[in-house]
Structure 1
Amino acid sequence: MLILSNAKIVTPYKIFTGSVIIDKGKIVEVKEERLQGENLDNMYLLPGFIDIHTHGIKGYDYTSWDDSEKFAKNAIGMRKELLRHGVTTFLPTTVTMSKDNLIEACKGIKEVDEIIGIHLEGPYISEKHPGAQDIRYIRQPDKEEVLACIKESGNKVKTITIAPEKDLDFIPFLLSLGVYPSIGHTDADYITSTKAFSLGANRTTHLFNAMRGFHHRDPGVVLASINFSPFVEIIPDFIHVNEEVVKFVLQVVGVNRIVAVTDSIIATGLSDGEYTLGKIKISVHKGIALTKEGKLAGSTLTMDKAFKNLVRLIGIKDSSLLVSYNPARAIGLNDRGVIEKGKRADLAILDENLNVIKTYVGGEQVYP
């Protein structure tokens, strides 16, 4: 049994000083009192961060490989680095790639027991809005390919980003397999996007980025997402989306529907230079990743930095929703993302300056 005592415990409802009792990997009691145990005086105790859209970090990534062994090795490396930033659950995220490589990526995730699943960002996206993805491999939605990915991953395909205008019927197909469809890299208009959400698409991939832009006579996927998407991803680095626009989205969408993601790449935590995203060469200058055409190519954001950026706008309690509780709900993880009796003891301890001091997974200290 582990007792974390006298911490500032962050829940969706309030922040209070108290203690958390952990046994057999789960939270068995949350008390608003000091108990005998590990004293966390003046420290914040939060549910571990959850990043459902990350391509890589510090030399590891999930986009650039040709065989399952290398994918698995990079997933393990990503996990180790992400733990340093308080991330206790994440989905290694692919980019649009060949069918053979996509299958290898799915095989790779099956080999890593500690990682719950994978996010396929493509290949069923719009040629008009590929972002930094390789247009050579964009293709029509393929049911047989998805079934193969699910089988080879050991049923770990959690979510797929698709352009709904390619095939609206693909959305209920994915739902029937237990896969969460997310709308992104799309040229869908307002009507098509609205239909996608009515059919069960439950998220929008990095709102504003790599999609038809908002216009007052053509509101497109942006307004449809604000109005109807159960969850909306935002990259809160203030590069992908201007800080004032992030404030606007927070106000009109509300903190219960927004999922903070990093969209981080292999260069995250490393120096400026030349890197790859899939098979595309990218350059990082002053922490901003770009293709040779000048398109944004993911980010170098970490989730603890994202949390700090959000805290400046909406405070600690609501920011915790965006980095833990909401992403858990967005992919059906009901056993984590909140400090509550019966939940997994996935926790992050932060100091007064919101720096990650310790990370726990299933009640076990995994960082430092």
Structure 2
Amino acid sequence: MKLGVAAAVVDGSLVRGDVEIENGRIAEVGLAGGRSGIATPGFVDLQVNGFRGIDLLHATGDEVERLGVELARTGVLWYQPTLITAPTELTRLALSTIGECAAAPRNDGVAARTLGVHLEGPFLSPERPGAHPSEHLRRPDLDLLASYLVAGSAVSMVTLAPELPRAGELIDSLLGRGITVSLGHTDADAATAHAAFDQGAQTVTHLFNAMRPFGQRDPGLVGAALVRDDVVVQLIADGAHLAPETILATWRAARGRIALVSDVTAAGGMGDGSFRLGTVHITVEGGVARDDDGALAGATRPLAWGLRMLIELGVPIVEAVDAVTRTPARVVGRPDVGILRPGAAADLVVLDDDFAVASVFVRGRPIQG
């Protein structure tokens, strides 16, 4: 089967011509006869709190399965279920449910697959909680961490504030287990951020949001991350969290190491109204989600929206695609996902000429609906 596309993003290059799929794998690229559109690898989203009415902290097994199907329809074929700060037992229960679904999927396989869980807390700064409930924040605690890690689901990333007491011990423990350390929800200064990166932290959770603002003499985590070639910065490009100029300035400072995330919540795809993000009540007006105190509380737009925004801002197509495929996959040590090349599994997205998602394929099978 040929896709009929005019080009494809293959290993970081734009290759003109059509793509052929055979037996669930990519057979050839650069073929004659394609008409329009661009084939890309399936998207990789490192921060998904929920979608279409489903909140992952409260989801049943059936809801986790349905969420995977709904995400796949938007082009996301791999994702990190993300759990914000919550009561310990509720977090453990969610980890168990997500783990059971990952171990024994009950859908027909045409769905987004998990990369492991992203624990966005509870080891965050009370000075920069964002929408996280302050009453459930905790100082770094190795025993508490251990209880999460045996709760039934593989944890692939933990967001923490490096300035907290014993944060260094927590970082060492996570790295020793092969878990990605992301810095975020933090009031850290630049020196503290550099020390954490030197220790092995690899990335930043939603750069600029819920952290010390960049200042000319106090650059904080933002400045430290932007000047280091070994740090991937995650951005929410949803039209609410960051101004277009901020996105462009970040791209110019950190080309090749930007990972877009959606930070999408149960409100995603549902329109305006009242929803929840973990234990937090949120209200969506005009597509922007806020908690009862007025703080931004996750997002409502899928990752494809951010990809299109990058392209419209002038970011080259290949670099924009890398920001939702190869770069986030690299953050969690999965070079086998988010790729398009002959011989690889046919996990693909086809963008139309306006860079919107036109069709999605999982192992060569088209997503319906």
The TM-score normalised by the length of structure 2 is: 0.91
What is the one-letter code of the residue matched to 1:249? Answer: T
1:124-158 Cα distance to aligned partner (Å, 9 max, x none) = 1001101001111100222233333232234x211
- Is 1:292 aligned to residue 292 of structure 2? yes
Which runs of 5 or more residues in structure 1 are unaligned? none
Once the two structures are TM-superposed, the CA of residue 333 in structure 1 deviates from its matched residue by: 1.0
Hey, what's the Cα distance between the residues in 2 that align with 1:78 and 1:145?
28
- Is 1:160 aligned to residue 158 of structure 2? yes
> What SS is found at the alignment partner of 1:268?
coil
Say which of 90, 94, 101 aligns to 2:90. Answer: 101
Taking the TM superposition and a 5 Å limit, the aligned residue runs for 1:204-223 are: 204-223=204-223
Task: Identify the residue that residue 138 of structure 1 maps to in structure 2.
Answer: 137
Task: Identify the residue that residue 246 of structure 2 maps to in structure 1.
Answer: 245
Asked whether the equivalents of residues 5 and 38 of structure 2 are also in contact (C-alpha less than 8 Å), the reply is no
Once the two structures are TM-superposed, the CA of residue 14 in structure 1 deviates from its matched residue by: 2.1
Taking the TM superposition and a 5 Å limit, the aligned residue runs for 1:1-368 are: 2-4=1-3, 6-11=5-10, 12-23=12-23, 25-27=24-26, 29-34=27-32, 41-63=35-57, 65=58, 70-113=59-102, 114-154=113-153, 156-166=154-164, 167-228=167-228, 230-254=231-255, 256-313=256-313, 314-368=315-369
Asked whether the equivalents of residues 55 and 276 of structure 2 are also in contact (C-alpha less than 8 Å), the reply is no
Once the two structures are TM-superposed, the CA of residue 75 in structure 1 deviates from its matched residue by: 2.1
What is the one-letter code of the residue matched to 2:99? Answer: K
Hey, what's the Cα distance between the residues in 2 that align with 1:76 and 1:159?
21
Once the two structures are TM-superposed, the CA of residue 260 in structure 1 deviates from its matched residue by: 0.3
Asked whether the equivalents of residues 8 and 44 of structure 1 are also in contact (C-alpha less than 8 Å), the reply is yes
Structure 1 residues 122 and 71 mapped into 2: Cα distance closer, same or farther (>3 Å)? farther
> What SS is found at the alignment partner of 1:111?
helix
Asked whether the equivalents of residues 128 and 186 of structure 1 are also in contact (C-alpha less than 8 Å), the reply is yes
Hey, what's the Cα distance between the residues in 1 that align with 2:73 and 2:147?
34
Asked whether the equivalents of residues 61 and 78 of structure 1 are also in contact (C-alpha less than 8 Å), the reply is no
RMSD value, Cα: 1.8
Structure 1 residues 136 and 304 mapped into 2: Cα distance closer, same or farther (>3 Å)? same
Asked whether the equivalents of residues 88 and 360 of structure 1 are also in contact (C-alpha less than 8 Å), the reply is no
1:242-289 Cα distance to aligned partner (Å, 9 max, x none) = 1101110000111x1000011111111112112211212121110111
> What SS is found at the alignment partner of 2:207?
coil
What is the one-letter code of the residue matched to 2:227? Answer: N
Which runs of 5 or more residues in structure 2 are unaligned? 103-112
Q: Percent identity?
A: 33
Once the two structures are TM-superposed, the CA of residue 304 in structure 1 deviates from its matched residue by: 1.4
Hey, what's the Cα distance between the residues in 2 that align with 1:261 and 1:80?
18
Structure 1 residues 199 and 344 mapped into 2: Cα distance closer, same or farther (>3 Å)? farther
Asked whether the equivalents of residues 15 and 30 of structure 2 are also in contact (C-alpha less than 8 Å), the reply is no
1:280-307 Cα distance to aligned partner (Å, 9 max, x none) = 2121110111112211111112111111
1:42-86 Cα distance to aligned partner (Å, 9 max, x none) = 1211101111101111101213x2xxxx34333222212111211
Asked whether the equivalents of residues 46 and 347 of structure 1 are also in contact (C-alpha less than 8 Å), the reply is yes
The TM-score normalised by the length of structure 1 is: 0.91
> What SS is found at the alignment partner of 2:147?
helix
Asked whether the equivalents of residues 55 and 94 of structure 1 are also in contact (C-alpha less than 8 Å), the reply is yes
Once the two structures are TM-superposed, the CA of residue 240 in structure 1 deviates from its matched residue by: 0.6
Structure 1 residues 307 and 147 mapped into 2: Cα distance closer, same or farther (>3 Å)? same
Asked whether the equivalents of residues 163 and 188 of structure 2 are also in contact (C-alpha less than 8 Å), the reply is yes
Hey, what's the Cα distance between the residues in 1 that align with 2:4 and 2:273?
44
